[in-house]
Amino acid sequence: MDHFAEPYRIKVVEPINLISREEREKRIREAHFNIFNLKSQDVFVDLLTDSGTSAMSDNQWAGMMLGDEAYAQCRNYQHFEETLRDVFGFKYFIPVHQGRVAENLLFSTILKPGDYVINNTHFDTTRANTMHKGGIPIDLICKEARDPHAKFPFKGNMDVAKLEDFIREKGAGKIPACFMTLTNNSCGGQPVSMENIKAVSAVLKRFEIPFYFDCARFAENAYFIKTREKGYENKSVKDITREMFSYADGALMSAKKDGLVNMGGFLAVNDGELEQKITNLMILIEGFRTYGGLAGRDLEAIARGIYEALDERYLEFRTKQVAFLGEELIKRGVPIIEPTGGHAVFINAGEFLPHIDKGAFPGQSLVVALYREGGIRCCEIGSIMFETKDANTGTSEYAPYELVRLAVPRRVYTNAHLMHVALCMEKICSYKEKLVGFEFVYEAQYLRHFTMKLREKAAVGAKV
Ligand code: F0G
């Protein structure tokens, strides 16, 4: 890869500290091997998520000082609305304090129990909010996404033939919404092509099913279209974004990702009747229509952040930085999902640690090893998160892949930090056969990874 450098310089610094190996051992045991229990100050490089962890720019911080904290119709709301209309082109923009509130508001309004919601791949909260309202989430990801080594450039795509078959089988009346997640987080941060967006939109128009984007990482998706899809190389990311959104009827966004802010989001619709219903509901649970759980200054930071995310020099650096981490891992023999996605590198821990059974969670074993080796925090996206148990037979269905996500916060870490991660992985490669699996001491019924307590399994042949 050619040399590349950040298109910004550092003005404010936040100290981080690599505590000693003995201290790390103590902390991870005190945390019951659950990285959500680790204190932030005990972590050196935090790759737990790219959500809400961005560094804001001087321009955004300056905008924070212009916060108009009037209860209704503050100036920052007007700027927020103008910006979003310019970038995305919808009629109505409803601010919320984070993405999942937009999901809740929309599904509370449009879903009846037994309805289906289609997506390329649902993110956990989108899935959970659908189910909470009695809906049935359906993932129709393209077949290329199932091969972790396939170099297909748009592994986030939806399977259009399957979409059409599914609508014919269930009937359009049972499907109040179809989503596309841009980029497709749960399948590796992989992008969706314009061609696929157009094809899905055409099918949905024929069946009169509303089309929405879950667009937390829209700018990264648009940049991948520019660099990977024929015919878009000379278009600006802003024009590509406008074209993408012209095919949809609405969108929900967690601005904590490509909004380059620490908190915020929105729901966008074109349908005035729907907007009215959502306004009435949001006053009950989130706040008045023009602030939606956010301060005026937060709305200003989003308005400025959305434009900054469209800066192509920033996007080039961002995607190259994530690809750099992926390449440094591949060089060291670490299997990852290829090609690298927009916001994270996903290590295939099942392939990396073949001696650990799925039921002993190889992903978690690697997560703990990375903390022990270099104070790195990341997260398992495998059977700890997705195992489903049959209540009648007691049998388990494990996740298709045992992954570990190294999510890269935006504008926060330098390549030297990412090199630290690659060098720690190199060390782990030299003793990986000695890593052992984990078992539960405590697990909650839902979303168990947040509150679990684990214990290490004894190594085969070791004295207990
Ligand atoms: N949709 C997608 C695609 C997401 O990645 C997330 C959050 C949400 C919706 C929910 O947004 O957190 O603002 O309520 N993803 C984070 C992550 C948590 O780590 O991937 P939220």
Q: What is the pLDDT along the chain (464 residues), one digit of tens a residue?
A: 788 999 999 999 999 999 999 999 999 999 999 999 999 999 999 999 999 999 999 999 999 999 999 999 999 999 999 999 999 999 999 999 999 999 999 999 999 999 999 999 999 889 989 999 999 999 999 999 988 889 899 999 999 999 999 999 999 999 999 999 999 998 889 999 999 999 999 999 999 999 999 999 999 999 999 999 999 999 999 999 999 999 999 999 999 999 999 999 999 999 999 999 999 999 999 999 999 999 999 999 999 999 999 999 999 999 999 999 999 999 999 999 999 999 999 999 999 999 999 999 999 999 999 999 999 999 999 999 988 877 788 788 998 899 999 999 999 999 999 999 999 999 999 999 999 999 999 999 878 999 999 999 987 555 44
In this prediction, residue 460 carries a pLDDT of: 58
Q: Which fold has domain 21-50+312-456?
A: Aspartate Aminotransferase, domain 1 (3.90.1150)
Ligand 1: atom nearest CA of 101 is 14
In this prediction, residue 81 carries a pLDDT of: 98
In this prediction, residue 445 carries a pLDDT of: 82
Residues 6 or more apart in contact with residue 114 via CB below 8 angstroms: 134, 135, 136, 174
Residues 6 or more apart in contact with residue 210 via CB below 8 angstroms: 110, 176, 177, 178, 204, 249, 250, 271
Pick the CATH number of 58-309 from 3.60.20.10, 1.20.1440.60, 3.40.640.10, 3.30.470.20: 3.40.640.10
Ligand 1: atom nearest CA of 100 is 14
- Asked if residue 39 lies in contact with residue 19, where contact means CB atoms within 8 angstroms, the answer is no
Cα-only R_g, the chain? 22
To test the pocket of ligand 1, the residue of 124, 125, 218 to mutate (highest count of ligand atoms within 8 Å of its CB) is 125
249 belongs to the catalytic site: no
Residue nearest to atom 15 of ligand 1 (CA): 51
Residue nearest to atom 9 of ligand 1 (CA): 99
In this prediction, residue 184 carries a pLDDT of: 93
Nearest alpha-carbon partner for 291 in 272, 266, 262, 261 = 266
Domain ranges of the chain: 21-50+312-456, 58-309
Determine the distance separating the centroid of ligand 1 and the alpha carbon of 344, expressed in angstroms.
Answer: 13
- Of the CA atoms within 13 Å of residue 190, those in its CB half-sphere come to 28
Residues 6 or more apart in contact with residue 199 via CB below 8 angstroms: 160
In this prediction, residue 464 carries a pLDDT of: 42
Nearest alpha-carbon partner for 365 in 307, 300, 431, 277 = 431
Ligand 1: atom nearest CA of 50 is 19
What are the backbone angles phi and psi of residue 351, rounded to the nearest 5°?
Answer: -75, -35
214 lines ligand 1 (CB under 6 A): yes
Determine the distance separating the centroid of ligand 1 and the alpha carbon of 123, expressed in angstroms.
Answer: 7
